[in-house]
Amino acid sequence: MQLKDYFENKPHGSKVIFAKSLGITKTWLSLIMSGRKLPSASLCATIERITNKKVKRKDLRPDLFGGV
């Protein structure tokens, strides 16, 4: 699942809360979601953990984690 798909049915304000839980800004989260910026390996692991593995690190960074 892509990160943008994760938020498809989430209530308004979810992205702000999610970004705060990651220790990043909503702007940085938006850049990651749009593909304009890549999350670090540790941020990928944190996103995977917080989303209960719905968003996998290999989907966020196939160059690092061997996604297909």
Instruction: Find where tokens 């702007």 sit.
Output: 27
Structure confidence at residue 67 (pLDDT): 56
Identify whether 68 is part of a domain: no
Query: What range does the domain containing 53 cover?
Result: 3-63
pTM: 0.90
Structure confidence at residue 15 (pLDDT): 97
CATH number at residue 37: 1.10.260.40
Please give, one letter per residue, the 3-state secondary structure of 28-62.
HHHHHHHCCCCCCHHHHHHHHHHCCCCCCHHHHCH
The number of distinct structural domains making up the chain is: 1
Identify whether 32 is part of a domain: yes
Residue type for 29, please?
Answer: L
Identify whether 54 is part of a domain: yes
Output the tens digit of pLDDT for each of the chain's 68 residues. 999 999 999 999 999 999 999 999 999 999 999 999 999 999 999 999 999 999 999 999 999 998 55
68, two tokens: 């297909």
Structure confidence at residue 66 (pLDDT): 85
Which residues, including other chains, have CB under 8 Å from residue 67's CB and lie 6 or more apart?
A: 56, 58, 59, 61
